[in-house]
Amino acid sequence: MADTSCIFCRIVKGDLPAYKLYEDEHCLVILDVNPIASGHSLIISKEHYPTILDTPVNILAHITQTIQKVIPGILKGTNAEGFNIMQNNGRCASQIVPHLHFHIIPRVTGDNIRFNWLPRSADKSEFEAITVRIKQHIESPAT
């Protein structure tokens, strides 16, 4: 169901303009209007799902197939050598629009695009403790 306050829902509905690259029954691929690189594209679900955790598995599978379908065209159209796929969930993770979307960012050597990925060190006891805490909250597959 569309959220009338959501910019992506309004684009899907046709109420707002977009540079459309691809469209099918489940998703829309558009150029990002605030691109990190030329050809920076967004793959958005047509239905309103706030995060990846809210999205049905069949829709995620379809979007993944669409990513594989459109990236070769994005690469050729931008003369890119590679790409990043980014998908953010929650404001603290830089999700600006709370509607499922994936960023496809074309890359070339020397483009100076940097993601502020600042690794930190952790010791063995921290790795062991967080492993236990996470594993107790992950459901085991059915046997």
Active-site residue numbers? 101
Token pair listed for 80: 């890119």
71 and 63 Cβ atoms separated by less than 8 Å:
no
Q: Which amino acid is at 140?
A: S
List C-alpha distances in Å: 35 to 32, 84, 102.
5, 13, 13
Q: Which of 107, 103, 108 is nearest to 89 (CA)?
A: 103
CB contact set of 10 (below 8 Å; sequence gap of 6+): 4, 16
CA dist., res. 143 & res. 126, Å (int): 30
